[in-house]
Amino acid sequence: WLRGKMASGLQTESWTEEIICPICLDFFTDPVSLDCGHNFCRSCVAGSWEKQEKNSCPICRKVTADRELQVNWALAKMVGKAREFSLDPTQAAVKRQCEKHREDLKLFCEDDKKLICSICRDAKEHRGHIFLPIDEAAEIYKDQVKSSIASLTQRKETALQTEAKQREKISQVKKQVKSLQSNVTAEFDKMHQILNVREQRVMRDLRQRNKEILKRMETNLREIQCKLDSVEQELSELQIQMGKDALTFLQEEAAGNRRVSNEGFDLSVCEAELPVGIYKGPIQYTAWRQMIHGISPAPASL
How far is 42 from 39, CA to CA, in rounded Å?
9
- Report the predicted TM-score, pTM, of the whole model to 2 decimal places: 0.42
Q: Residue 14: which region, alpha, beta or left (left: phi > 0; alpha: psi -120 to 50)?
A: alpha
What pLDDT sits at residue 260?
64
Q: Mean of the pLDDT values across residues 2-8?
A: 35
What pLDDT sits at residue 266?
82
How far is 114 from 118, CA to CA, in rounded Å?
13
Top-ranked range on mean pLDDT: pick from 130-144, 170-184, 220-234:
170-184
How far is 60 from 40, CA to CA, in rounded Å?
13
Interval 65-83: pLDDT, tens: 766 788 999 989 988 887 7
What pLDDT sits at residue 3?
35
Amino acid making up residue 12? T
Is the pLDDT reported for residue 10 higher than 50?
no
How far is 295 from 46, CA to CA, in rounded Å?
59
Residue among 266, 267, 269, 248 at smallest CA distance from 258: 248
Confidence of residue 261 (pLDDT cuts 50, 70, 90): low
Give the single-character DSSP code of 99. T
CA dihedral 81, 84, 86, 88 (to 10 degrees): 20
What pLDDT sits at residue 285?
72
Percentage of residues in the chain having pLDDT higher than 90: 24
Helix (H) or strand (E) holding 290: helix 281-292
The residue with greater pLDDT, 258 or 114, is 114
The residue with greater pLDDT, 290 or 87, is 290
Interval 42-51: pLDDT, tens: 999 888 888 7
Is the pLDDT reported for residue 100 higher than 60?
yes
What pLDDT sits at residue 105?
83
HEC profile for 202-259? HHHHHHHHHHHHHHHHHHHHHHHHHHHHHHHHHHHHHHHHHCCCHHHHHHHHHCCCCC
Full set of structural domains in the chain with CATH? 16-85 (3.30.40.10), 107-146 (3.30.160), 182-250+267-292 (no CATH)
CA dihedral 215, 221, 227, 230 (to 10 degrees): -100
Contact 117, 96 (CB under 8 A): no
What rounded mean pLDDT belongs to the chain? 81
How far is 155 from 158, CA to CA, in rounded Å?
5
Confidence of residue 170 (pLDDT cuts 50, 70, 90): very high
Residues 6+ apart with CB under 8 A from 41: 21, 23, 24, 28, 29, 30, 31, 32
How far is 191 from 288, CA to CA, in rounded Å?
10
